[in-house]
Structure 1
Amino acid sequence: MSQSVAILLCTYNGGTYLAEQLASFREQSHTAWKVWVSDDGSTDNTHDVLAAHREAWGADRLAVFPGPRKGFAANFMSLVCREEISADYYAMSDQDDIWHADKVERAVRWLNTVPADVPALYCTRTELVDDNGEKLGYSPLFKRPPSFANAMVQNVAGGNTMVFNDAARDLLKAAGANVQVVAHDWWVYIVVSACGGKVFYDPTPSLLYRQHAENLIGANAGVGARLVRIGKLFQGHLKAWIDQHVIAIQPLLARLPPDNRSLFNRFTTARQRSLIPRVFGILRSGIYRQTGLGNIGLLVAAIFNRI
């Protein structure tokens, strides 16, 4: 029996590209899927597009719910935690990408290698395209292994590439739909890696990631994006985001294996210290980013108390 996949699609005034996104679901080589949509109050033709596809596909293929209207992260988490949604695996989706035909199949193939009771997250690199679908390049290729030590200070993949199993979803439900986090995908990476789950970053892109003016979150590719991130670091954004995550993960602390609990305690304690103990404590905690430049940034952030 083919494993069932719940596609968790969040929409908000996405009618321009939504039909292409939905068409790429229809072309998936893995056919045991259902789309669950949470719409956050669209006022364009999004509902018309969804209604047309629901009529064409049937209610067993597409269901639509009203979103919480509290931003994109809250919208995704509301879907993740909906009790009526049940599947073997869960794939998050944006409203304006184009999935490669084997996207779900590749994710399912890897997830099937992980025992069902072990939280597991599959994610990939992306291929970037413009409004018209013209190729622009690729998202950064990360080479260091994904881990909780990395997740504390960086997200390695976009939510539009992420597929996770039911054990991972149980952790996310335990943390709650109303968890206050900066981004749903970063939160998923933190939770699964923190609780001893397996995370696989596939360097082969699984979708065309559309870059346009309406994007809520870009691909973080290129020198310009890196400069923006550095600017946010010195403005204190990273410190504020980590503060959110430290609070959000409290309900799950008992589920962290000893090594991750130790890393968490070393890192959070060091953040509260004065200059010298803070810098050495953060460096010794084990956290890391994916690049040498990123790790230099962490050192500078530790010096200036921006982490």
Structure 2
Amino acid sequence: MQSKFAIAKKAQNYMSNPSAPENEAAQIDGPARGAAAILLCTYNGAGFLEEQLASIAGQSYANWVLYASDDGSTDATLPLLMAFQDRLGAHRVIIRCGPGKGFSANFLSLVREVSASYDFYAFCDQDDVWHPDKLQKSVAWLGQQMTVPALHCGRTRLIDEKGAPLGFSPLFNKEPSFDNALMQNIAGGNTMAINRYAYQLLKKTPLNAPLVCHDWWAYLMVAGCGGVVCYSPTPTLDYRQHTHNVIGANTTLVSRLMRLRGMLKGKLTTWNDENLASLQMVNTELTPEARLSLERFAALRHSTLIKRLWLLLISGFYRQTFLGNCGLLLAVLIKRI
């Protein structure tokens, strides 16, 4: 067992020389059949990271490799990752330096750098707790989608900083689709797992694409490029709510009122500007049906009130809940879409 000083020294050496041999994956022959790459992004997450790493180590589906991208942590995050690597080996835990441009850029940098030779890929946040069968359930469904891009996601159980249950994220019952993806993200990236075909799609994301969030982008790309999406109503992870969440669960009245306020101030308009600009960059990857929906949505946003309402009616755009659709109608009425 290495001392804390030795681990900290090793972490310091890693940050100054991330390409050293001890920091590279020892996978000369490539990943085993059915292997999953877990893509973990970290930044000053030492307070909860150890519990998350323990939940990863305890997965019933053991055929995985963890890629951790640290975005310049100044706390004990990197030493914790190095200790986990020492415990499981450099062939199971690979650590790299992130771009230092925020969580979405960090995730997408992993997508660009980790090879497309794995069968499955799972996004992972630093402060959650995976249930033991989290990866197994995702892989079981993804393994049946062998010819098209596929994304598995779902509901979460909410917990507080100490791990006490707070409830659940909203339950969505409507079918996932590109028409829904244009209106909202269906699930948090911390629940998402994709197959190789979907991963290859994400690798085509332009470097200059103005993405809102990597998880919303994954939903848009898979749904818009002829893929399939499965939303599971059964939670497979505990989604920790704390003061440093980059994006929370948005289940409280206060958080919903804040989202409404943001919409009135034009935040939804900005998000849609960015999503549409990014989708135009990959227009040739979209199905004809998705391109038609994209054109209708772009036209809706800049039309007169009557035409906006007409296009909303004939387009089939929808959100997952009644309140969500009320918010969508309001956004169309006041031209904040």
- Indicate the TM-score class for this superposition, using the shorter chain for normalisation: over 0.9
Give the Cα separation in 2 of the matches to 1:202 and 1:173. 25
Partner SS state of residue 175, structure 1: coil
Partner SS state of residue 22, structure 1: helix
Deviations 1:268-307 (A, max 9, x none): 1121212221232233222111112211211111111100
Aligned residue in 2 for 1:51? 82
Give the Cα separation in 2 of the matches to 1:143 and 1:27. 30
Aligned residue in 1 for 2:136? 105
Q: Does 1:293 align with 2:323?
A: yes
Give the Cα separation in 2 of the matches to 1:185 and 1:303. 28
Q: Does 1:143 align with 2:173?
A: yes
Q: Cα offset for 1:83?
A: 4.4
Give the Cα separation in 2 of the matches to 1:64 and 1:270. 45
Aligned residue in 2 for 1:69? 100
Q: Cα offset for 1:2?
A: 5.3
Q: Check whether the contact 2:156–2:238 (CA below 8 A) recurs between aligned residues.
A: yes
Partner SS state of residue 180, structure 1: coil
Q: Cα offset for 1:255?
A: 2.3
Deviations 1:163-212 (A, max 9, x none): 00111111111123543211111111111101110000000001011100
Match of 1:225 among 255, 264, 278: 255
Partner SS state of residue 137, structure 2: helix
Match of 2:289 among 259, 262, 270: 259
Give the Cα separation in 1 of the matches to 2:292 and 2:53. 44
Q: Cα offset for 1:85?
A: 6.2
Could you list the runs of 5+ residues in structure 2 that have no partner in the other structure?
Answer: 1-31
Q: Check whether the contact 1:114–1:120 (CA below 8 A) recurs between aligned residues.
A: yes
Aligned residue in 1 for 2:274? 244
Aligned residue in 2 for 1:26? 57
Runs of 4 or more off by more than 4 Å in structure 1?
none
Give the Cα separation in 2 of the matches to 1:90 and 1:70. 22
RMSD: 1.3
Deviations 1:226-279 (A, max 9, x none): 222212111111111011011111232222222222111111112121222123
Give the Cα separation in 1 of the matches to 2:143 and 2:255. 35
Q: Check whether the contact 1:77–1:177 (CA below 8 A) recurs between aligned residues.
A: no
Q: Does 1:270 align with 2:300?
A: yes
Give the Cα separation in 2 of the matches to 1:199 and 1:244. 22
Give the Cα separation in 2 of the matches to 1:85 and 1:46. 27
Give the Cα separation in 1 of the matches to 2:313 and 2:244. 38
Aligned residue in 1 for 2:17? none
Q: TM-score, normalised by structure 2?
A: 0.88
Give the Cα separation in 2 of the matches to 1:163 and 1:120. 8
Q: TM-score, normalised by structure 1?
A: 0.96
Match of 2:332 among 282, 285, 302: 302
Partner SS state of residue 50, structure 1: helix
Q: Check whether the contact 2:209–2:281 (CA below 8 A) recurs between aligned residues.
A: no
Could you list the runs of 5+ residues in structure 1 that have no partner in the other structure?
Answer: none
Q: Does 1:179 align with 2:225?
A: no
Match of 1:90 among 116, 121, 127: 121
Q: Check whether the contact 1:10–1:39 (CA below 8 A) recurs between aligned residues.
A: yes
Identical columns (%): 49
Aligned residue in 2 for 1:16? 47
Over 3 Å counting, the alpha-carbon distance change for 1:130 and 1:200 in structure 2 is same
- The structure with more radius of gyration: 2
